[in-house]
Amino acid sequence: MLACSVTADLAAIEAFLRRAPYLHAYELGDLDPREAAHCTWFAHAPVDAVALIYRGLAVPTLVALTDDDPAPLHGLLAELDAAGELPPQFNAHLSADVETVLADRHALELLGHNRKMALAAPVGGAVAGDAGVIRLGPADAGEVVAFYAASYPASYFEPVNLERGPYLAIRDDRGLAVVAGVHVYSPQKRVASLGNIATRPDARGRGLARRVTAALCRLLQREIDVIGLNVRADNAPAIACYRGVGFEIRHAYSEWRVARRPGR
**For residue range 222-261, what is the model confidence (pLDDT) as tens digits?**
999 999 999 999 999 999 999 999 999 999 999 999 999 9
The confidence band for 83, taking pLDDT boundaries of 50, 70 and 90, is: very high
Do residues 116 and 25 lie in contact, with contact meaning Cβ atoms separated by under 8 Å?
yes
End-to-end CA distance of the chain: give it in Å, rounded. Answer: 17
pLDDT of residue 128: 57
CA–CA distance, 216 with 204 (Å, rounded to integer):
19
**Following DSSP, what letter does each residue of 73-126 receive, concatenated?**
HHHHHHHHHHTT-S-SEEEEEE-TTGGGGTTTTEEEEEEEEEEEEEE-SPPPS-
Residues 6+ apart with CB under 8 A from 242: 117, 213, 229, 231
Tell me the domain boundaries of the chain. 10-116+254-260, 121-245
**Is the domain defined by 121-245 classed in CATH 3.40.630.30?**
yes
- Average pLDDT taken over every residue of the chain: 93
Is residue 129's pLDDT more than 80? Answer: no
Residue 173 burial (CB < 10 Å; 0-12/13-18/19+)? exposed
- Model confidence at 1: pLDDT above 60: no
Give the pairing type, strands 89-94 and 61-64.
parallel
CB 77 within 8 A of CB 198: no
pLDDT per residue over 169-190, tens digit each?
999 999 999 999 999 999 999 9
- Position 56 confidence tier, pLDDT thresholds 50, 70, 90: confident
